[in-house]
A and B are shown apart, each in its own frame.
Chain A
C-alpha cells in the first residue's frame, strides 16, 4: 500500500539480507522488530512512518504495533535528527552538578535553540535523557555512539566544534 513516489523501501539489497539473517535466528518473525528498527535508523538516520509500515509487513505484525514499540524507546528517532545526536543526562545527581547549564550551553553553541529541534545547519539535535550510569562523572553526554564524561558549560564549545566538522570520534 506504499505510494512508490513518496517512500523508498529500506529493506532492499544488503539491508534486506541483514534482516533476513536476523529473522532466521529467532523462532518468530516479530522477534526481529528491534533490530529491524535499528537497520532503518542506520540507513535513514531516523524512522519514518513508511518504514514502520514496511517493517510491519515484513514481520507480519501491525503498523500500530511497530509504532508502539518504536515510540517506547528514546533511542529510536521518530523525527529527522541532525548529523550529531546529543543526549544529556539531566537526572538529579547530574542536575545538581550543573547539567542544566550544560544543556543551555549546548543549545546555544549548536544553534539548536530548543530541545528536540535540529540546528539550522542540520548538524545537531539535543535531547535530555535519564541517568546514563556515570553519576560520578557529571555531566555525562552521548554524542552519537560516543560517551563523553565530565562535560561542563566551559568545555561545551570545544566539544561542539569538534563534531561540527563531521562525525569525528572523541
Chain B
C-alpha cells in the first residue's frame, strides 16, 4: 500500500495503481481523453497531467503509478494551464458549429471545453483544415464524422483489444493523421462485426450509431427514461440500457465497463442495434380471433365449417413458399442502402418481398377484445380438458420469456389441467446436454462462469459451438483469453472464426464426435495423462470407460473422423495438460441422433482429466437463447417441477399442489410429452397453447409439422407478431417485448438478472405474465399476482436453489444460482467437492460411436448442417424486423465450398435448389472456405428458404432431439 495525498486528501492505494486510479477511487475527478477503462494506456492526449511535488514536469495521471509519499495536485495552475492548451490545440481542428450556437456540450470533449473555459478561435483565423478519415458511407448502423475526431485512438484499441477484431488504425501520420477502416475503407473486408464497441468509446461521437440519429434526431437529445435491461438475443445475457422517449426506445447503450456485468459493458451488433423490432409496424396490438368463432348463449361455437377445412386460409404454406424461386439476392457486401429500405412503414414491395408479415396472413382473423380472447381460450382449454382429460392439452413455454412467465404457464397446466405436457425449444437445443449431464452428474446447467473461462483457463476446448457468431460477446472474451496466452482447441466441421484462429482445429466429418472424444481419451490413458486423484475420489465406473475407449486408438478415430491422428494426439495432450481446461459445447454436439452419446463421451473426457469443479476448469454447455436456462429451471420441461424437482416423486407433487392450492390427486406423476412428440401425427394432443415460440420454422421437417398444426382442435398463440405458427391459431394473444415488461432471465452461467420495464407494450398488448395470470384465473386457478416480483416470491419459496433470490438482491450484477439463502452470495462455480448425484460421485457411461441417421449417397451427396448467423436470431421474427440487422443479412444463403460451387457451375449470388428426402428450397449461393467440400451450411432464420423443410425429424432416444445438424441433400443450379 502506498500513502499519498491528492489535493490535500490523504489516500492509500495498492501497488501498481496509477494516480488516476487512486484519484477516481477517492472521488477526485481528473479529465481524460485517450484513457478508457480496460483499454491499454497510451498516454497520448496529455490532458490528465497533474502536478506532483518535487517533480520537474507535469505527470500523466493515467500512466504514472502512484508512489509512497507523493503529493499530488490535480488542479494546480500549471496543470490547469496545460489542460487549456491541450484543449485549445485540439479545438483548432474541431468543428465549432455546436459551440458557436452556444448549445449544450454534445460530448465529453465539449464539456471539458466548457469546464475549462476554452473558446474556439474564429473561423477565419484558423489555418488548419478539419480532420478527416474513413467515413463508412451508407453504412446501415455505424457512421463516422471524422471532422470531430481528436485522434485519441480509443476506437482503435477497443476494436483490437476488447473485440479482438482490428478493423481500425491510425494512418498517414503527420499533418493528416487519421483513423482508417481496413486498408480501403470497407469495414466488411476488414472483418468488422458491427459490434459498436468503437461507437461506445469515442469521446466526441466521431463514430456514432446511425440508426437512432437518423430516426430520432431530436428525441435523442431529450430522452425521458433509461431502463437497465438484458439483451433478448442470446444466452450471454448482456446488460444493456434502453433509452426511451415518448414511450419509444430510441437508442441502446451498454453499461460502463467499470460496472460488474456479464458482458463487461460490451455488446454485439444485435444487442446494440437490434432493438427496433419492438416498434415495427407488424407488432400485434389487439388480440385476434379466427373468423368462424362466434358467441352464442354465452358459449363460443365454431361456425367456420368442418374440421378439415378449418385452417385452410388463403395463404401459401411454407412448403409452397420454400420451393418457389425468389429474386436473386443482392450480393452481400453491398446490402441495401438505407434510403431504399423503409424503416417502419410497410409498403407493398416490402411486404411482398421482405420480412414484414404479408397482408393476406391477417385475412382469416378478426380483431377482438381481450374479454373475447380470454373467454374463448379459457372455454376451449377447459372443454378439451373435460372431454379428453389432461393428455388432450399441451403447452409450449418460451425460452425468450421471463422466468416468471414460464413459471406461471407450467403452473397453470400442471395445477389446473393435471398435465406435464409442457416443454419448450430447449428440445431443439440442449435437451441432449441436459439428459447427458443428468445421467452423469445429476445436473442440468453449466458448472462455471464466463469470467473464469476468460481469465483463468489455460486451455479452452470448444466442441461444436460457433461462439464468435452465436454468442459474440463471449466469443470476444474467448479471443481475449487466446490473446493472453490460453490455448484454443476447436472441434468443428466448419472453419468458423474461432476454429480458424485455434491452436488446433479438429475439422471432423459431421457426426463423428464420439469417435473423436473416445480417441482423445484413449490417448490420454495411453500417455497416462488422466487425473488419477480425481478419478479415485470423484468418479465411478472408470474401468468400463478404460475398456470402452481402448479400441479407439487415434488411428481408428482418425479413420472415422477424418482428422489426422497426430492432431488428435496433440489435442488430447493439450486438453489433459491444462492445468486448467474449460470445455464449451453447443448445438454442434447436441443436435444429433447420437447427441446424448456425444455429450456423454465429452463428459467422460472432462471427468477423466479432472477438468471440472475448480476456478478455471469450467464445463459449459453454451445456451442459445436469452432464457433457455431459466425456462428449464422454471420447470417448463416435461419431467420436472421448478428447480428440477421430478414430477414422478409424490413428495414433490404434494409440495407443489399445496402451494398451488389444488388437490394433489389432480396432478400427474407421469412425465409429459416433449415438443417433438406433441406436434406429431398420432399425438393425443387436441389443444395447444404456445407462448413465444415458432415451431413452424424451428421444427424439423416443417411441412409435416404444418400438417399437424392445421388439424389441431384449438391453438392459442401468444406472440409479438403474426408468426408462421400463429397463422394456424384460433386465438392470437399480443404479448410484450423484453423492453415492455419487467422480469428475470437466467444466462448461460446460471446468472439470474432482472430487467426494468422501459416502455409500454403497443396498443392493447399486455405483458405475457399478465396474460397468463388472467387465463389462469379464468380457468379457475388461484393466481393472486399483481407484479412479477410477487411471482418471484412464490418461485423462491418452492425452488431451493432460488431461496435467496429477490428483485432487490438481483439489482446490479444479478446472482448466480444456487442461492440457497438470503445472505448467500450466489455460486460462481459448482462441484468443488462432490456432484449432486446420490453418492456424490460422477457416473461414467461408456459410449460407442454410431453413424448419423442420414448419410450422403449418390442421390444426396452433400451433408447439410443448419445453424445461426451473426446478424440473425432463431426464426428471424425479431432480427428480420430490425432494419440494421436485416440489411446486413437480407437473404437466405447457402454456404458452399468454392470447389463444389465450381463443379456445380454456380457463383456467389446464384440461386440453387437444395433437395433432401423430404423437400426442396431455393436459396442463393455464398461460396466460402469455412465449409469443407461436400458439406454445406444453411441458416434456419429465413422463412422463404426454410432450412427445416429439409431436416430429418428422426429423434434422439433419450431426449427426443431431432438430428438437425445432419441432412443429406442434393444441390442443383436453377
Q: What is A's interface to B at a CB cutoff of 8 Å? A: 1, 49, 52-53, 61-68, 70-72
Contacts and interface: CB of A to CB of B under 8 A. Distances in A.
B173 A64 contact: no
B166 A64 contact: yes
Interface residues of B, number: 18
Q: Which 4 A-B pairs have the closest CB atoms?
A: A62-B166, A64-B169, A68-B169, A71-B171
Contacts of B167: 62, 64
A145 B761 CA distance: 72
Contacts of A53: 183, 189
A55 to B, nearest CB: 10
B160 interface: yes
Interface string B166-202: 1111111100000011111000011000000000000
Contact of B173 (A1, A66, A72): A72
- Taking each of A1, A52, A71, which has the highest tally of chain B beta carbons within 10 Å of its own beta carbon? A71
Contacts of B169: 62, 64-65, 67-68
Contacts of B181: 64
A71 B189 CA distance: 19
A63 B168 CA distance: 9
A67 B183 contact: yes
A62 B173 contact: no
A41 to B, nearest CB: 16
A64 B189 contact: no
Q: Main SS of the interface on chain A?
A: helix
Interface string B659-674: 0000000000000000
Contacts, number: 48
Contacts of A71: 171-173
A63 B173 contact: no
B172 A63 contact: no
A67 B189 CA distance: 14
A62 B182 CA distance: 8
Interface string B754-791: 00000000000000000000000000000000000000
Given A53-B183, A67-B183, 10 more contacts: A49-B183, A49-B184, A61-B166, A62-B165, A62-B182, A63-B182, A63-B183, A64-B166, A64-B169, A64-B171
Interface string B134-176: 0000000000000000000000100010000111111111000
A23 B172 CA distance: 26
B159 to A, nearest CB: 9
Contact of A66 (B160, B172, B183, B184): B183
15 contacts: A62-B160, A62-B166, A62-B190, A63-B182, A63-B183, A64-B181, A65-B166, A65-B169, A67-B183, A68-B170, A68-B173, A68-B180, A70-B171, A71-B172, A71-B173
Contact of B171 (A1, A49, A61, A67): A67
Nearest to A50: B183
A64 B172 contact: no
Nearest to A52: B183
Nearest to A73: B173
B629 to A, nearest CB: 35
A68 B166 CA distance: 12
Contact of A67 (B156, B165, B180): B180
A70 B172 CA distance: 8
A49 B173 CA distance: 18
A49 B181 CA distance: 12
B171 A63 contact: no
Nearest to A51: B183
Nearest to A53: B183
A63 B184 CA distance: 10
Contacts of A72: 171, 173
Question: Which of B160, B167, B169, B173 gathers most chain A CB within 10 Å?
Answer: B169
Contacts of A70: 171
Contacts of A68: 169-171, 173, 180
A52 B182 CA distance: 10
A62 B166 CA distance: 6
A15 B715 CA distance: 69
Interface in B339-365: none
Contact of B189 (A1, A65, A66): A1
Contacts of A61: 166
Contacts of B182: 62-64, 67
A15 to B, nearest CB: 19
B22 to A, nearest CB: 33
B170 A63 contact: no
Contacts of B173: 68, 71-72
Contacts of A1: 189
For B167, B168, B182, which residue has the most chain A Cβ atoms within 10 angstroms? B182
Contacts of B183: 49, 52-53, 63-64, 66-67
Interface in B504-561: none
B528 to A, nearest CB: 34
Nearest to A68: B169
Nearest to A64: B169
Nearest to B170: A68
Interface in B812-837: none
B158 to A, nearest CB: 13
Interface in B206-250: none
A52 B184 CA distance: 10
A63 B180 CA distance: 10
A148 to B, nearest CB: 26
Contacts of B180: 64, 67-68
Contacts of A62: 160, 165-167, 169, 182, 190
A68 to B, nearest CB: 4
Nearest to B167: A64
| Most chain A Cβ neighbours within 10 Å, of B169, B183, B184, B190 | B183
A68 B168 CA distance: 9
Contacts of A63: 182-183, 189-190
A155 B168 CA distance: 46
A48 to B, nearest CB: 9
Contacts of B190: 62-64
Interface string B363-404: 000000000000000000000000000000000000000000
A61 B166 CA distance: 8
A158 B407 CA distance: 92
A64 B168 contact: yes
A61 to B, nearest CB: 8
A29 to B, nearest CB: 14
B625 to A, nearest CB: 32
A91 to B, nearest CB: 15
Contacts of B184: 49
A66 B190 CA distance: 12
